[in-house]
Structure 1
Amino acid sequence: MHKVLVIAYYWPPAGGPGVQRWLKFVKYLRDFDIEPIVYVPENPSYPITDTNLVKEVPDGIQVLKQPIHEPYAWASLLSKRKTKTISSGIIPEKKPSFIEKLLLWIRGNLFIPDARVFWVKPSIKYVLGVLEEQQIDTVITTGPPHSVHLIGLGLKKRQAEIMWIADFRDPWTSIGYHNKLRLSKSSQEKHKNLERTVLKSADKIIVTSATTKKEFEEITSKPIKVITNGFDNELNEIELDSDFTISHIGSLLTGRNPMVLWKVLKSLVNENHSFQRKLKIQLAGVVGKEVMESIHMYGLRPYVECLGYLSHDNVLKVQQKSQVLLLLEIDSEETTGIIPGKLFEYLNAKRPILAIGPQGWEAGQIVEDSKAGAVFLQQNEDALKDVLLKWFSAFENGELKISSSKIEQYHRRELTKVLANYI
């Protein structure tokens, strides 16, 4: 078998979407004559954990670990809660406090490209020994955190003959929250220079969207492959909710606040007694204060159930039981290439997807191409109301379902086959 070293920050027991991608690639790479060896931190500060994911690590996979020094321990002396929030990548909403401003400034300007940068130098030294000892000639780094790519860069500088593949689960300097880090001009330039150096030094690049590929092609001439996230789980038959549940999975903060949806739902509740009795809005994950204020403003609080953070196993159950699955993105040109990982599990759940996002949104295009639901802009109030009424009528008749197509290409094994061929 061809040995490949995968360098990642997020690994079980880390929870959330960041861990899923390479956990699943590692699961299937052996099917294609590739033996993955994984290198991760020994003592990471994961903002959320999901111990159930530990069971999904394949038997016999070699997982190497080295200590990491992260600054969040001393930063938490200022504010433990705010530090944990920022370390998880959640930027404070419209009016950050002085402490939040300070933490953001420190995060953006003192730790470049991110607060895991202290793992880079010791990892380069350690991994060089591993490559020599185990005769490994291919290294894959996956970020964010993008400091992981600096490990690949350091290895490439010292051993030019290794094949280095850089996997970008998210963009770097063009991602929405980057401009909120209160960066100085010199810090902005350092980020851009590091991004440019990584993109020009890696032998191959992987991205999760065509938009990011196009963006990176303006910086580098190296090969770039789009390999999206996907779904894996075979689902058992499960009884649908008796209520007309509209469920959103994941963080729902101010930028994604679907004002048009709240307005339409208020109208339907006021006009349709049956809709009023059956409506249930389920929100799993972090829900922003301003989102809840909007829900209150439209009189929808009695219909909302906040589920908090759920294990991945429970997320799958909620998705499969829900009548409608809600997919949201910030209405901005810079978010058109964001394809949430949950989209593919939504597709696998085979429940109608209600997607609200920007013009030209890649995720919306996947929903439409797969015939998996309906896609709207924030301005599509009348069309959104018509679709919800249509779906509610079908729900009342026990006939709310979709006939999606072309989703098998997003199965994790099929995506791993594409990855193996690219390696």
Structure 2
Amino acid sequence: MHKVLIISYYWPPAGGPGVQRWLKFVKYLPEFDIHPVIYIPKNPKYPITDSSLIKEIPKNVTVYKNEIFEPYTYAGFLSKTKTKQISSGVISDDNPSFLEKILLWIRGNMFIPDARKYWVRPSVRFLTDIIKKEQIDTIITTGPPHSLHLIGLELKKILDVKWLADFRDPWTSIGYHSKLRLTKASEKKHRELEKKVANGCDKLLVTSNTTKVEFESITTKPVYVITNGYDIPESDLPFSGMDKKFTLSHIGSLLTGRNPENLWKVLSEIISENKDFKNAFQLNLIGVVGQDVLNCINDNGLKFYTRLKNYVTHEEAVNYQRRSQLLLLAEIDSPYTRGIIPGKLFEYLAAKRPILAIGPEDWEGGEIVKNTNSGFVCNYNSLSDLKAVILKWFHLYQQGNLMVSSVNIQEYNRRTLTAKLAELL
């Protein structure tokens, strides 16, 4: 059986979308005669944890751990909340505080490419022996954090190994990169490292066609797209059936840039005009919600109809998706986010509930919704068409006939996606 070493920062009990991609690949790779060996930090500081994911780790997988120095531990003395947010890539758009500006400057200029850079040298020393011992000829690095690609870069130099660099998110072209208050020298350093990684690996793996095009502009190495996906629900929580209310649910962070103001206006308008809708509607926001988003919701008179719940386990999130009448997908309205395909989109597809997708023009996430016939896609300026589709769905809900006839979603099944990865390996 062919062995591959997967170098990842995120691994259960880490929570959030970052852990899902390689946890699922590891689950299915043995079916294609590939044995994954995992390398992760021994003492990470995860911004979100979800212990329910631990049971998804295959019992026969080999996991190596090594100590990591985490500067965020000390930054937390200034502000644990802000440090966690910046560590997760969650950065305020509106009037950041003086403290946040300091933390952003430190993050962007003192820790290049990121604060996990201090794990690179110890990991190279540690893994050199492991690779020889396990007789591994292929390594995979997955980022962010993109400092992990520097581990691959060094191992490639000193060992006769193949190296696949997986980018779950872009590096210098991701939206929050421009908010790091970088000096010109720091910006140059980021781009130099990105180019070294892109040209030093044997193959690049990305999650969207937009990111593929971006990397093809800086490297001649082959770039492949394997999106994120969905797995068959394995939740231990019983499915209690569809919500009785006409629920519109968003699962995940809903922060400043993802505030669909026209949606709140439309919902408020329908509530004022339609008594049946008023009595039936409920907005579920599952996860972190920005204060400006809440203010906008409240300003449109929707506070009474809104149910808030902080971060839930992945199992609970799957159940919220399956029982909601409608699912809300929102992406930041910016050219920089056209290639961002939220991981929850694929689980929305598996839930087979109508998706209301709001995002930028030419958004790849929206194209997937359209191509799979899984819902309705609009931009942040939509009003009349947004109102029309919500009323159409409400009418179907009243008839007990609200459903979605999606097509071609099987290509996003985690087993199918792992088959593509196995072919690359």
Q: TM-score, normalised by structure 2?
A: 0.98
AA partner of residue 23 (structure 1): L
CA distance in structure 1 between the partners assigned to 2:38 and 2:223 by the alignment: 23
Counterpart-to-counterpart distance in 1, 2:213 and 2:182: 25
Question: 5+ residue gaps in structure 1?
Answer: none
Give the TM-score normalised by structure 1.
Answer: 0.99
Aligned residues of 1:238 and 1:320 also touching (Cα < 8 A): no
**2:166 is matched with which residue?**
167
The one-letter code sitting in structure 2 at the alignment partner of 1:279 is F
Structure 2: 5+ residue stretches without partners: none
TM-aligned CA deviation for residue 246 of structure 1: 0.4
Equivalent residue runs for 1:14-413 within 5 Å: 14-159=14-159, 161-234=160-233, 238-413=240-415
Q: Which is worse superposed, 81-90 or 40-49?
A: 81-90
CA-to-partner distance for each residue in 1:231-278, whole Å, 9 max, x for gaps?
002478651100010000111111010011001001101100111111
Greater shift in the superposed pair: 230-239 or 413-422: 230-239
CA distance in 1, matches of 2:140, 2:68: 19
How far apart are the structure 2 equivalents of 1:64 and 1:329? 36
Q: Does structure 1 retain, via aligned residues, the 8 Å contact 2:239–2:319?
A: no
**Count of residue pairs the alignment pairs up:** 422
1:175 aligned partner, one-letter code: I
Q: CA deviation at 1:133?
A: 1.1
Q: Distance in 1 between matches of 2:413 and 2:312?
A: 22
Contact between 2:233 and 2:318, CA under 8 Å: does it hold in 1? no
Q: Which amino acid aligns with 2:376?
A: A
User: Partners of 1:28 and 1:35 in 2: how far apart?
Assistant: 10
Deviation at 1:93, TM superposition (A): 3.6
Contact 2:169 2:206 in 1 (8 A): yes
Paired residue type of 1:340: P
* Letter of the structure 2 residue corresponding to residue 271 of structure 1: E
Aligned-partner Cα distance in 2 for 1:234–1:115: 34
Amino acid at match of 2:266: V
1:92 to partner: Cα distance = 2.4
Q: Is the 8 Å Cα contact of residues 92 and 256 (structure 2) preserved in structure 1?
A: no
Letter matched to residue 146 of structure 1: H
Structure 1 letter corresponding to 2:38:
V
Residues 142, 167 of structure 1: 8 Å contact kept: yes
SS of equivalent to 1:205: strand
Amino acid in the other structure paired with 2:275 = H
Q: Aligned AA for 2:265?
A: K
The Cα of 1:120 is off from its aligned counterpart by: 0.5
Q: How much has 1:104 moved relative to structure 2?
A: 0.6
Tell me the alpha carbon deviations over residues 28-83 of structure 1, each in whole angstroms, 9 at most, x when there is no partner: 00000000000000000001100000000001100000000010111111112221
Which whole-Å deviations, capped at 9, do the CAs of 1:58-116 have from their partners, x for residues lacking one? 01100000000010111111112221222222112411111111011000000000011
Equivalent-residue separation in structure 2 for 1:104 and 1:333 (angstroms): 22
Asked if the contact 1:93–1:253 (Cα under 8 Å) also holds between the matched residues in 2, the reply is no
User: Partners of 1:259 and 1:144 in 2: how far apart?
Assistant: 30
Separation (CA, whole Å) in 2 of partners of 1:9 and 1:227: 20
CA distance in 2, matches of 1:166, 1:393: 48
How far apart, in 1, do the equivalents of 2:363 and 2:72 lie?
Answer: 34
Distance 1:400 1:279 in 2: 14
Q: CA deviation at 1:332?
A: 1.0
The answer on whether the counterparts of 2:13 and 2:50 sit within 8 Å (CA) in structure 1 is: yes
Q: SS in structure 1 opposite 2:115? A: coil
Q: Which consecutive segments of 4 or more residues in structure 1 shift more than 3 A? A: 234-238
SS in 1 for 2:95: coil
SS at match of 1:116: helix
Amino acid at match of 1:385: K
Cα distance in structure 1, aligned partners of 2:233 and 2:332: 31
CA 1:289–1:93: 2 relative to 1, 3 Å: farther
CA distance in 2, matches of 1:92, 1:125: 38
Q: Give the stretch that moved more between structures: 230-239 or 173-182.
A: 230-239
Letter in 1 for 2:139: V
Cα distance in 2, alignment partners of residues 205 and 421 from structure 1: 14
Could you tell me how far apart the structure 2 residues matched to 1:80 and 1:359 are? 36
Contact 2:138 2:163 in 1 (8 A): yes
